[in-house]
């Protein structure tokens, strides 16, 4: 079984990235084949500073390795290092119905929020389809908000196969049911777009201050509170051992506590939870040559597969005149 997924380097990874996706990537790297890429082409729709994008891309590689992605088990590479994907994207674009792309929720939501709606954002699902189809990926781990894009990928592949003959494998979405919905510091979904994130590798002292500033409700301290409806508890539950979670939940239900107590426990739990990855990241950061080698090796492996798929698609639709 071949698994594939990508993550955008639009900033330093936060708790939502880890619990929502990266943790599942690490679990799935034991499959027969696992391809994970740093989606810097997709990131161009939001990051318009060249040096910043380069730095974010390298930081993403360091973060993934530090969090447990094993280059001996999974193929890790940078999206733009596989130009075959961009070529394949054009083949798919020529058959992508305008109405299909207009219905994609990511485009509609960003446009509704007043964000710039350019052609890159509009055609994002087609490039995502090329990312998947280029490697004959069979399983794509996604959150519920990405299921529609997998359906678009299947529609484009099915249409191409119908017109030009069986060329692409139709992927299946693997909804990451184990993935947590991670609330941000404001209680909404944690997202860089909402400026409500807690970075995985933030300085512990700085992050502690950030946590202590999280806004909470104004209910009296003595009131009993439902832990599951409180974003501070939801964050704590992601990081703390089962016994500590139960103890904190009991405290909420009894009442008679202050949110400062919860914030302190959350900061302590975060520092402990990410202590080992933080140490590993320092080790990887001291080996820039090795990191570059891993990404180059990953790109070489990915290109071998993607070129085979691209050439088959080109032959199928008549672009490789001399076969």
**Residues labelled as active-site residues:** 110, 189, 192
Q: Minimal CA–CA distance to 266: which of 283, 282, 250, 245? A: 245
Query: How far from each other are the two terminal CA atoms of the chain, in whole angstroms?
Result: 29
Rounded-to-10 torsion of CA 182, 281, 71, 137:
20
Q: Contact at 8 Å (CB) between 5 and 138?
A: no
238 to 141, 183, 233, 296: CA distances (angstroms): 20, 11, 9, 34
| Measured distance CA(159)–CA(165) in Å, rounded | 10
Q: Minimal CA–CA distance to 142: which of 31, 5, 275, 17? A: 5
Q: What letter would DSSP give residue 144?
A: G
């Amino acid at each position: 079984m071949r698994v594939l997924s990508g993550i955008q380097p639009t900033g330093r990874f936060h708790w939502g990235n880890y619990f929502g996706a990266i943790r599942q990537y690490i679990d799935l790297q034991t499959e027969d084949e696992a391809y994970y890429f740093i989606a810097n082409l997709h990131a161009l729709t939001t990051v318009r500073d060249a040096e910043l994008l380069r730095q974010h891309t390298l930081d993403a590689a360091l973060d993934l390795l530090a969090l447990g992605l094993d280059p001996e088990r999974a193929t890790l590479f940078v999206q733009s290092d596989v130009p075959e994907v961009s070529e394949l994207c054009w083949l798919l674009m020529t058959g992508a119905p305008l109405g299909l792309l207009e219905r994609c929720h990511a485009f509609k939501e960003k446009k509704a929020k007043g964000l710039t709606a350019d052609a890159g954002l509009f055609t994002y699902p087609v490039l995502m389809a090329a990312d998947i189809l280029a490697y004959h990926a069979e399983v794509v781990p996604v959150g519920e908000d990405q299921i529609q894009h997998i359906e678009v990928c299947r529609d484009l592949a099915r249409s191409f196969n119908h017109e030009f003959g069986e060329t692409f494998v139709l992927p299946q979405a693997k909804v990451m049911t184990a993935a947590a919905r991670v609330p941000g510091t404001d209680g909404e979904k944690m997202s860089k777009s909402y400026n409500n994130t807690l970075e995985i590798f933030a300085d512990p002292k700085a992050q502690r201050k950030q946590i202590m500033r999280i806004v909470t409700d104004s209910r009296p301290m003595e009131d009993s509170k439902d832990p599951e409806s409180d974003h501070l508890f939801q964050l704590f539950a992601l990081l703390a051992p089962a016994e500590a979670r139960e103890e904190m939940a009991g405290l909420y239900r009894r009442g008679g506590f202050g949110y400062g107590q919860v914030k302190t426990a959350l900061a302590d739990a975060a520092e402990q939870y990410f202590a080992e990855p933080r140490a590993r990241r320092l080790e990887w950061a001291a080996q820039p040559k090795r990191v570059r080698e891993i990404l180059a090796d990953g790109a070489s492996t990915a290109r071998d597969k993607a070129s085979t798929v691209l050439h088959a698609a080109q032959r199928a639709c008549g672009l490789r005149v001399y076969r």
